[in-house]
Structure formats: C-alpha cells, structure tokens
Amino acid sequence: AQKVTQAQTEISVVEKEDVTLDCVYETRDTTYYLFWYKQPPSGELVFLIRRNSFDEQNEISGRYSWNFQKSTSSFNFTITASQVVDSAVYFCALSEARSKTSYDKVIFGPGTSLSVIP
Amino acid sequence: AAGVIQSPRHLIKEKRETATLKCYPIPRHDTVYWYQQGPGQDPQFLISFYEKMQSDKGSIPDRFSAQQFSDYHSELNMSSLELGDSALYFCASSSRTGTYEQYFGPGTRLTVT
C-alpha cells in the first residue's frame, strides 16, 4: 500500500528564516512519482514539483529546494528566506508510475500548515 | 493555456438533497480523476475515468456516482447529501498518450446545511 507521512502538522517561522518540511513515503512500487503541492487559504492546489523514483538528483528552484533520498524514503522540501506569501498548507504526495511519462491517482500526505510571521 | 474547469465553484445544499458537480478536462485529455478534501484534511481519491470507462475507485460512498461523457467531461452526482459531504471537490485531468501532469481544477466547494 502507498502511504505518505508528514510528521509536522504545523510550523511557524519568522519571515526570512529557512524552513524544511519533512516527508516520508511508503510504497511497494519500484517506479513511482513524488510531488509537493501548495494550498493557500484560497483553496486551489498549486503544483510545485514532481520527481520520479529513478532520478535522485536534488533540485533547486529559486527559494525552493527538494532533497530526495530513496535510501530513507524521504522527499524533504526547504524554503529559504521564507516570506509571508509562503504561508499555506503544503502537501507531499505519491503516485504509482503508469509509464515513463505518466502516473496514476495521487496519494496525499496529511499536509503541513506553514505560517510565516512578519 | 486552457485549464481544468469545474462548475459550480460554490454550492450550498441542504441535507438529503442531490448535487451534481461538473468537470471539463483540458482539451485532448482522456482521463479524469475526482478527489474529495474535507475540512482540515488532505485530498482523497474518489474515482477515475479513462476513455469514458471507470478505471479506478477509491473511498467513494454508494450515494455518489460519476461518469465521463463522450466529450470527456465528467459529472459527479451526490444524492442524499449528509453534513459530512461538505468538502472541496477537485477534478484533475491527464492524458495517457501525452506526458506527465495531472492537472487539478480549482475545486468546487460544497456546503451541506
């Protein structure tokens, strides 16, 4: 069975601090995809990143970076120099790979609510 | 670029009423997924369709039914609504012949009073 755990329910940081959101996943699939989504108070799901299981390279996009470690089944997300606009719920998610270019239904973790205080 | 369209965006119903949510996938997308997100919860997969056939089923109540039509749009029908059905319902679409992404719609917020 697939499962995603986000141990941090809520995190509060002061603006400009760095913050890391933890994600641990379980799957029996040999090929799978991992994701991070942001859900601001308005409710929409904002796609942040997708990684496949055969690519363990870390990725940086502006103030965002992701650390994928297959050995520990973790896919952590770091926001550098946090801003008030980063306040949202962040979901880590997992999906079975349907092929090299597509995936199946998305299994979400419980989410981490991040509050960035000015 | 065209996105997934969901209508209505907000819906208020009373207990025991019926609701129909609609999803219009991105053009040329053949697969639709429905997710339900209760207050303070993560989105949970309900059901999916590929080429108008049900392809997978999650924790969808028997009171709910869904289908995908010939133009690939999908409708989620919910009957005998309960207070616990109040949630944000997301539709997502993808293409099995294309690459990658499952694009999420903006969601329909259903409130049952």
Quickly state the pLDDT bin for B23 (edges 50, 70, 90): very high
Averaged confidence pLDDT in chain B = 94
| Residue B90: per-residue pLDDT | 98
Smallest Cα distance from A42 to chain B, Å: 10
A residues 29-88 closer than 8 Å to B (CB): 43-45, 47, 50
Closest Cβ opposite residue A109 in set B42, B56, B92: B42
Instruction: Provide mean pLDDT across the span B38-57.
Output: 95
Q: pLDDT tens-digit profile of B80-101?
A: 999 999 999 999 999 877 666 7
Q: What is the DSSP letter of A77?
A: E
Instruction: Provide mean pLDDT across the span B42-71.
Output: 95
Query: CA angle, corner A4, sides to A82 and B60, nearest 5?
Result: 115
CB within 8 Å: B99 and A102 = yes
Give the residue from A45, A48, A107 with the most B CB atoms within 10 Å of its CB, the best one to mutate: A45
* pLDDT tens digits in sequence order for chain A, 118 residues long: 899 999 999 999 999 999 999 999 999 998 999 999 999 999 999 999 999 898 888 888 899 999 999 999 999 999 999 999 999 999 999 999 887 777 889 999 999 999 999 9
CB within 8 Å: B100 and A50 = yes
CB within 8 Å: A91 and B42 = yes
* B96-100: long-range contacts, CB 8 A cutoff, minimum separation 24: B96/A98, B96/A99, B96/A102, B96/B30, B96/B31, B96/B50, B97/B30, B98/A101, B98/A102, B98/B28, B98/B29, B99/A101, B99/A102, B100/A50, B100/A101, B100/A102, B100/A103
| Share of residues in chain B with pLDDT > 70 (%) | 96
